[in-house]
Structure 1
Amino acid sequence: MKEYQSLSHTRWDCNYHDVFVPKRRRKKIFGVLRKELVKIFHELASHKESRIVEGHLMPDHIHMCVSIPPKYAVSNVVGYLKGKSAITIARQFGGRTRNFTGEEFWARGYYVSTVGLDEARVRAYIRNQEEADARQDQMKLRV
């Protein structure tokens, strides 16, 4: 049987598949930054009582399956993750220390969908992102 999480008067299981990209879809997510982003996202998610169930960082985009309590709007949590991570990236990797908003890293929008009964399928999709992207590139070459 599935394990549900709970708040004081609520039992819940709210998982969302999120995708977002750096500005102009530049390939910026690699090396030390990639390793640090994992820690940053897990820490920031815990600030909003959320949990990253599954995630995969590609050079030009990020896929995450995030468990968010129903008391938070998905847009608030994703906006918080993007905003605070951009500020952290600017401070740690961009040499900015004060009065910086971090508005130069992530693109403005994001993709989100609910993960219902096919959670295993979505988690497998996130886990196997690199193979899926390689297949897409092969299809582009043939056309």
Structure 2
Amino acid sequence: MSRYEKASHVYWRCQYHIVWTPKYRFRILKNKVGRDVYRCIQVYCEQLGCKVVELNVQVDHVHLVVKIPPKLSVSKLMGALKGKIALKLFSKYPYLRKNKLWGNHFWQRGYFVDTVGINEEIIRRYVRHQEKEEVQEQAQLTLQ
């Protein structure tokens, strides 16, 4: 299997590591909300022709390693993901909209993005095991 994707006139491998957070980094992405965010990312990425390589939804942020076709920009993907997911969550969980702090925005304005190149396996491992590392750090902080 080739590392490259193929379209009609192009071979490509545009892979990105993207991280974004809910507004005020609220710890809201747990239980059903977190599972819905996970499913929505999978579905919307597939609809846009993107391939999810790694995905990890933490309680206060999302890590995504994704292959994006050259015809689609990272900002378009993020606009679509964050917009559609927010609309879905606000309609499915009306209590989220009641919190005046949201201001009808579920996500923070920005996001982090980095290209994945030679260090792909390191980044994928980090995304996969990020929750374990965070739990260990929290345990060490409580012991001190």
> Who is 2:76 aligned against?
76
Deviation, structure 1 residue 53: 0.9
Instruction: Measure, in 2, the Cα distance between the counterparts of 1:122 and 1:8.
Output: 30
Instruction: Give the alignment's TM-score, normalised by structure 1.
Output: 0.87
**CA distance in structure 2 between the aligned counterparts of 1:95 and 1:121, rounded to whole angstroms:** 38
Q: Deviations over 1:113-138 (max 9, x none)?
A: 00002111111000001122134335
For residues 24-74 of structure 1, give each alpha carbon's deviation from its aligned partner in whole angstroms, at most 9, with x where no partner exists: 000000111111212111111122111211011110001010110011111
How many residue pairs are counted as aligned between the two chains? Answer: 138
Distance 1:138 1:36 in 2: 28
Superposed CA offset, 1:7-32 (max 9, x none): 11000111100000000000000111
User: Could you give the per-residue CA deviations for residues 62-108 of structure 1, whole angstroms, max 9, x where no partner exists?
Assistant: 10101100111111101111111101111111279xxxxx9421111
Greater share of helix: 2
The correspondence of residues 96-135 of structure 1 with structure 2, limited to 5 A, is: 103-135=104-136
Q: Identify which range, 126-135 or 61-70, moves more after superposition.
A: 126-135
Alpha-carbon distance in structure 2 between the residues aligned to 1:120 and 1:9: 28
Q: CA RMSD in A?
A: 2.1
- Are residues 95 and 24 of structure 1, via their aligned partners in 2, closer, same or farther at CA, if it must alter by over 3 Å? closer
Unaligned runs of 5+ in 1: 97-101
Q: Structure 2: give runs of 5+ residues left out of the alignment.
A: 97-102
Q: TM-score, normalised by structure 2?
A: 0.86
**3-state SS of paired residue (1:54):** strand
Contact 1:83-1:103 within 8 A present in 2 as well: no
Q: Hey, which bits of structure 1, 4+ residues long, moved more than 2 A? A: 134-143
2:63 is matched with which residue? 63
2:99 aligns with none
Structure 2 CA distance for partners of 1:127 and 1:70, relative to 1, 3 Å = same
Percent same amino acid at aligned positions? 33
